[in-house]
């Protein structure tokens, strides 16, 4: 893992106008938040940034939200965003560290290894009193983009079902403790809460330092993941719909560990007619 997970705000400031550097706003909000990430980008963005919409760079024919696109769909979307295979891609979001992780994972999933997240996101950029500008449409790239799907980073329903049955893979769930236990409802209507048998709850916000919007120290991250951090056994991360599972995958990558992300996550798992769901006693 020679490519760093993060670059600093000073690094971005020094390099954002350099050839071969692409800056991406990967912001997205839960529907209940009542916010429009693209509209916010149009009002305020890092200079030269382009917008990556996880709802559009997706398999829009799928029944699940922001389902991972095919390699062909991803490759088709990149030139329209001005992205080349050789670019070093820097991603940020408006919350510090949230959906930028999903965009980071998608690039790596399709073979684009030269990608990192700006530490602290837009809040850190603004805290340094650095300039922003209204987001604009990117210059179209005529050079074809090549994408190749990396199976080692992806988990399907079948993969997770097999892991649950065999109990031979560590499954980390990024949802809140209440949703994991079954005590709180899921944000999506008619979807039961609870968890997969054997899953371990690591709410993604526990990994983030509130003062900086970035990850806690590596030692702190290792302590949070605890004794279940078994590289040999294999790791799958999951959440509600495949977004914050990527925050866990990013944290593990930061620790030198590769994890697979369950793209369908709880939305797919709990929607099965015979869903295997566990809840914790009050």
137 contact partners, CB below 8 Å, separation of at least 6: none
Alpha-carbon span 275 to 58, nearest angstrom: 25
Q: Name the token pair of 23.
A: 């800056």
Query: 179 Cβ partners below 8 Å, 6+ apart?
Result: 185, 186, 193, 240, 266
State yes or no: is 239 an active-site residue: yes
Instruction: Write the CA distances from 148 to 11, 43, 51, 85, 109, integer angstroms.
Output: 29, 34, 22, 11, 8
Contacts of 21 (CB under 8 A, 6+ apart): 15, 87, 88, 90
d(CA 153, CA 93): 22
Say which of 7, 239, 243, 248 is annotated catalytic: 239
Positions marked active-site: 239
């Amino acid at each position: 893992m020679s490519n760093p997970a993060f670059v600093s705000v000073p690094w971005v400031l020094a390099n954002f106008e350099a050839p071969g550097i692409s800056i991406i706003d990967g912001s997205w909000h839960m529907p209940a938040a009542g916010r429009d990430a693209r509209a916010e980008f149009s009002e305020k963005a890092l200079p030269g940034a382009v917008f990556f919409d996880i709802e559009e760079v997706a398999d829009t024919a799928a029944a699940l939200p922001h389902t991972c696109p095919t390699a062909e769909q991803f490759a088709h979307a990149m030139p329209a965003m001005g992205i080349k295979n050789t670019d070093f891609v820097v991603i940020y979001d408006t919350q510090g560290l949230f959906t930028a992780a999903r965009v980071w994972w998608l690039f790596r999933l399709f073979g684009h290894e030269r990608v990192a997240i700006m530490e602290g996101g837009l809040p850190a950029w603004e805290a340094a009193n650095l300039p922003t500008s209204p987001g604009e449409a990117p210059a179209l790239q005529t050079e074809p983009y090549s994408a190749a799907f990396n199976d080692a980073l992806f988990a399907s329903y079948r993969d997770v079902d097999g892991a649950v049955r065999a109990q031979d893979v560590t499954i980390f769930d990024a949802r809140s403790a209440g949703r994991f236990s079954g005590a709180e409802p899921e944000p999506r209507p008619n979807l039961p809460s609870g968890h997969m048998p054997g899953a371990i709850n690591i709410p993604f916000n526990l990994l983030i330092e509130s003062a900086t919007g970035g990850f806690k120290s590596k030692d702190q991250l290792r302590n949070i993941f605890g004794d279940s951090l078994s590289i040999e056994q294999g790791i799958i991360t999951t959440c509600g719909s495949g977004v914050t599972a990527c925050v866990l995958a990013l944290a593990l990558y930061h620790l030198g560990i590769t994890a697979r992300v369950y793209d369908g996550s709880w939305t797919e798992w709990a929607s099965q007619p015979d869903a295997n769901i566990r809840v914790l006693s009050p």
